[in-house]
Structure 1
Amino acid sequence: MANLMTFRADTVDAALACARARLGDELLVVTTRAAAGGGVELIAMPGRGERPRRDERTRTGGRQARALAARTPRPVPAHASAPPPFFSAALPQPVREVDERLRATETPEGLRERLAGELVGWRERQAQLRGALPDGTETLAEARRRLAFWLRRGPEHPLADRQPLHHAVPRALALVGPTGVGKTTTLAKLAGRLRLEEGREVVLVTLDTYRVAAVEQLRAYADMLDVPFHVAFTPQDLREVVRHTPPEAHILVDTTGRSPRDASHLAQLRGFLGGGELRSWLVLAAPARPSCLREAAERFGVLTPAGLVLTKLDETDATGEVLAFAMEQPMPVLLTTAGQEVPSDLDPAPPEALAAIMLGARCEAELAA
């Protein structure tokens, strides 16, 4: 990135002294972090009107850096092995405002640091092109654009360009995931959207003969929507439903919720879903701990889900944390839910809308306003 320079030393103060010697007293510190092999690493850039001092050899590994480090008391404190705090206060005001939004949604520091560095470089390039730095509104829009790009998970996001929801829903779709994440309610919301708002034909199927009243619950939703309903006790039952359903209809399949660590259940579910045109989406609850989300995604990955559904967004303030988790996954987020109302409390999740939520807006329109 143009104008960014890296300085390494045993302590933050020593690295900062090296940076000031090279870049001047008005430098901007982008971030600090633990350096590989010990010590710290500081990334900085010249302040407005400052240029690097070419007559001083203070770049990483230079004699002055080593001399400053040598004058620093040793040993390095034990806590230096952890990354030092991200110096948000040293960022330009518009970038700092973006970072404050992300911090409020508990976005992980590493992602905040990455975005801040990119925004600092982008603003400098824009200043060179047009003679003025972008303002806060422009910087926020660029942050949303970059976050949306990272959330897109490939060039062909099925809900990009505001496509109707049915364009993203396979003909035969099973919702899979741990117990208690809201698969049945989400399936009913999805069926309602397709049936009532987009005029699509829908067939509901349940594999959940394990949970008490699960069959009756989904049957009640089918009656409410006036759509066919089936119970599949075996993989053959499910294949028969798919075979005899008109090709224009969507077959939505509810599955039994079990622990991600239940290998026998995952093997059984794989037998139901394997082969044919049946696809799956993984349903996870947004309030869950990131470690639990990652474990569930890894273990249900044997079913090769094509999409991710995040439920209960209204029950967490850490939307940045859960969407940062989503960026790590090979499949895109396609739906989110917030509330229990069928079908209204379900939202398609194009990347732009998710980026707005990550930046603290309840919806994309709120951020634009």
Structure 2
Amino acid sequence: MTQFEPKKRAARNRTITLTEDELQFYKKQLITLSEPASAETIMNKTIHQDLFEAIDRLPDQFVDLMFIDPPYNLTKSFNGKTFTKMSSDEYTEWLDSWFSKLVRVLKPDASVYICGDWRSSHSIFEVASRYLNVLNRITWEREKGRGSLSNWKNASEDIWFCTNSTNYKFYVDRVKMKRKVIAPYRNEEGKPKDWDEQSGGKFRLTHPSNLWTDLTVPFWSMPENTDHPTQKPEKLLAKIILASSDEQDVVFDPFSGAGTTSVTAKKLNRRYVGVELDEVYACLTEKRLALAEQDASIQGYSEGVFWERNSLQEQSKAKSTRPAADENMTLDLGLDLD
């Protein structure tokens, strides 16, 4: 089977894929940096390049928010390219080799979020604390994964929240979660206290914490899903982008993967720049950006609030309007593929 022969998928599988014609079309939208670039040159673009080649050609202080999802310290294949596990000290040195060069792209009031797992988090903290203010560690429940007979199942990942200075953006009211009230309390006048009643039940807006249990890792029936092995949910990026940036701010992802950061930034009216080494993932990013023109919904986020995972409101209010296609159908994106 060649890379672009359609895999046999379930009839309701909504995984975003590329045909050979689409790959050739979207390749034309990618850019590569051969010399120092201005912010205008790279804005709202996917840079198809090794980060180590692009890093010195990026402009200074153009980033308001940086989201970093580097390879974790595991041996893992990404579309035929393998990242090999290192010793903890070697991984720390590898992180520092590129992170130290990225600090200059940050605006003075920029925020940085860095992803890791239990193996890599101590290295991330060590490196990040050399250059930034480390304010918190978010732990989010990643419910996918196999169980283990000789260890606890690994069902969580970390995101380190850092800032470039003590002057930074954080908008708590944008990232509150709507939860069902189990034991509603009324005041002496019989009025609801800190909750309200709707047709679907009794709800309360709660302040966000550093423990996130409301995320669903993309899977085959979700319209944001791709074949990228470590794809983050759009809902996760929406929390970060809304909390730590304003509209038209620049969101930068140096390990863009299949483009979730850029796509979510676009849906939330931010500007974006991504760097991705793999051509297929970079082209998938461009296709997803085109799809976002038709459907800007984010599963689990609607009416300006985040909903609990698998709640009726999450499913009904954030349902995608994009048609469910069979595995051989190419969505009409208005493309001239000739």
State whether TM-score is above 0.5.
no
Larger strand percent: 2
Instruction: State the structure with more CA Rg.
Output: 1
